[in-house]
Amino acid sequence: MGAALIESAGMKVQRQSFAVRSETRRQAIDITPRVRAIVIEAGVREGLVFANCLHTTCSVLVIDSRPELFEDLSHMMGRFIEDECQYKHNDPRLSDCERGNATAHLRASLLGHGVAIGVSGGELLLDGSQSILLAEWDGPRPRNVHVQIMGV
């Protein structure tokens, strides 16, 4: 992990990671400021940034950052992927996983683990209400987010 910055004839390829810690089972963590700071530090004016969580049971997605909306999202995911269903991943006869966290895997893959955002004028290309959220489905846990920037 760590970080790397390589510049080749004006093109920059910058990798950086950071840690966040979720405090509850399901939680929304707005990582937009962290991603923005990495973009500014990299000094890339035009290009792309990717933010990915390096875990199978949390998501990284773009959504409006109003807190009540994540409660709606979390409730929706709970209706889609019900805690009380029977999952093979939670059956010790079929799986070597002891966490019983099938729902977290399924919710994470349904929403995805990463997003790509444009960079223009050194700024993230998001509209005013778009935020990059790490959605925790199996917390509390420490989580790592990988940020990759390419551009000029």
**Which parts of this chain interact with a second copy (CB under 8 A)?**
1, 4, 6, 8-11, 13, 15, 45-48, 50, 52, 54-56, 61-64, 66, 68-69, 71-73, 76, 80-81, 87-89, 91, 94-97, 102, 105-106, 108-118, 120, 125-127, 129-130, 146, 148, 150-152
Taking the complex as a whole, the smallest distance from the CB of residue 116 to a second copy amounts, in Å, to 5
Distance CA 147, CA 137 (A): 21
Q: What is the DSSP letter of 140?
A: S
Taking the complex as a whole, the smallest distance from the CB of residue 69 to a second copy amounts, in Å, to 5
Question: Between 25 and 95, whose beta carbon lies closer to a second copy?
Answer: 95
Taking the complex as a whole, the smallest distance from the CB of residue 39 to a second copy amounts, in Å, to 14
Distance CA 75, CA 73 (A): 5
Distance CA 71, CA 135 (A): 11
The structure tokens listed for 2 are 């760590």
Taking the complex as a whole, the smallest distance from the CB of residue 20 to a second copy amounts, in Å, to 15
Question: For residue 78, which amino acid is it?
Answer: G
For residue 46, list its beta bridge partners: 120
